[in-house]
Structure 1
């Protein structure tokens, strides 16, 4: 890995965006490396959580300008689809992090801009310290936040997403907490690390299969738009519940409760 640092500790795979001189801007190479490490983490039976953060107290300042310049050269050479593929590849990254069965925790510091903003919105849990500054600056550069917008709407709602995306205004960490962009605001880096460990401890107490199933149900629920679809979702969820309660985790959870001990998945 050249653009990220990866380390697995206990139940968590830690991925650190590591281009500090560019404030951890996301390059195509970084996208490829993040997707590779995500796939490896999903295959590791011990891993339940993925922790995403940036090196040297910045999360991510957005997309990489060098990739934009290379794409411009490609377009000049007659490849009219080069910008489409560049932009869509980043969307694939956010889709994968959004829908992975792992629990994604974004640990946010400093710049959380553009693509970094989108990544933060794709996380299941987003925690930040007071150094954070959030923005969607694309329209000020003559561009739409094309791949980011759906994830922002899902996180903060259409009204706030319109305000942020259509003005490019910066939002501080306290404002981000108030609109639901982040879930927890800590005073400093030390408190941020403490909060991360608390979240990992809470995830460790949950059964891996139940976590994955619950996340899938929640994501599916967000797409329900009518009563017929809701009934179908609830039918499917009931089937998943039935399988779970009759499966190994359900039986182990019940035994552990009755025997007043920790379940076997809690390390």
Structure 2
């Protein structure tokens, strides 16, 4: 499947992995509305492409993402002269929609976090399935120090690290490094060099059936909203379908024959 044309991102596809690089290094990859729209378009396209098994999200120029683009805020301020608060509401809600899309992507979403991981960048880290931080990366929620609020990212941060820690970080705008991000449970790894860990994680992902991974991810996310009894009924149906499905049959046969299944490339 052909990926959409982009100007704020770099896209590289190899061995079932789509690497999406935020590419505005001159502003530490600050998230413009154009970048948000391009990311959503890439996620929509890749979601329908079964050959893409993992998404790697990272930033160019030594930084992940420094948050929202101040120029976009200025543009919204100009539009607000005629549109009122709706100009700001549209700009803010668009980023929340991106976070929803990223969280619900059927592929494994891996965030590689270097340099600035602030505001919206922090939010993107929180919707990843696996987060790998460079030890010296700088994390923070600076919104309140700017007189604004972390409106769209707040629910995702709470889900990731809990209400108590989110309150502390959001209400102090405190900065912290990769080691502290690991302690908080925001990231899964904090490394001096991230590439070796990324290669290891991708190798692990390739051992898992892509359809089973997608179904498992959806099931895990559903635990946040659905009643337990309903969820267990649905899960039983999903399990039955998986057992007799193509991946289930191949996985079982591979185990019996003491070989790798076809997807384990």
Residue 133 (structure 2) pairs with residue 128 (structure 1): yes
Q: Deviations over 1:191-247 (max 9, x none)?
A: x111111111111110111001100110011235xxxx1011011001100000011
Q: Take 1:208 and 1:47, find their aligned partners in 2: how far apart are those partners?
A: 9
Give 5+ residue unaligned stretches, structure 1: none
Within-5 A mapping of 1:69-218: 69-188=74-193, 192-218=194-220
Q: Take 1:197 and 1:41, find their aligned partners in 2: how far apart are those partners?
A: 21
Give 5+ residue unaligned stretches, structure 2: 1-5
Identify the residue that residue 248 of structure 2 maps to in structure 1.
Answer: 250
**What TM-score do you get using the length of structure 1 for normalisation?**
0.95
Q: Take 2:189 and 2:115, find their aligned partners in 1: how far apart are those partners?
A: 15
Residue 37 (structure 2) pairs with residue 5 (structure 1): no
Identify the residue that residue 232 of structure 2 maps to in structure 1.
Answer: 234
SS in 2 for 1:57: coil
Q: How many residues align?
A: 260
Q: Take 2:159 and 2:87, find their aligned partners in 1: how far apart are those partners?
A: 28
More deviation, 39-48/233-242 = 39-48
Q: Take 2:13 and 2:44, find their aligned partners in 1: how far apart are those partners?
A: 13
Residue 37 (structure 2) pairs with residue 32 (structure 1): yes
Aligned CA-pair RMSD: 0.9
Correspondent of 1:57 among 54, 59, 62? 62
Q: Deviations over 1:44-66 (max 9, x none)?
A: 22101100000011000000011
**What TM-score do you get using the length of structure 2 for normalisation?**
0.96
Report the Cα offset of residue 131 of structure 1.
2.0
SS in 2 for 1:56: coil
Q: Take 2:142 and 2:196, find their aligned partners in 1: how far apart are those partners?
A: 31
Q: Deviations over 1:53-86 (max 9, x none)?
A: 0001100000001100000000013443110000
Closer, same or farther: CA 223–266 of 1 in aligned 2, 3 Å? same
Identify the residue that residue 259 of structure 1 maps to in structure 2.
Answer: 257
Question: After TM superposition, which residue ranges in structure 1, 4 or more long, deviate above 2 angstroms?
Answer: 77-80
SS in 2 for 1:60: coil
SS in 1 for 2:132: strand
Q: Take 2:46 and 2:118, find their aligned partners in 1: how far apart are those partners?
A: 26
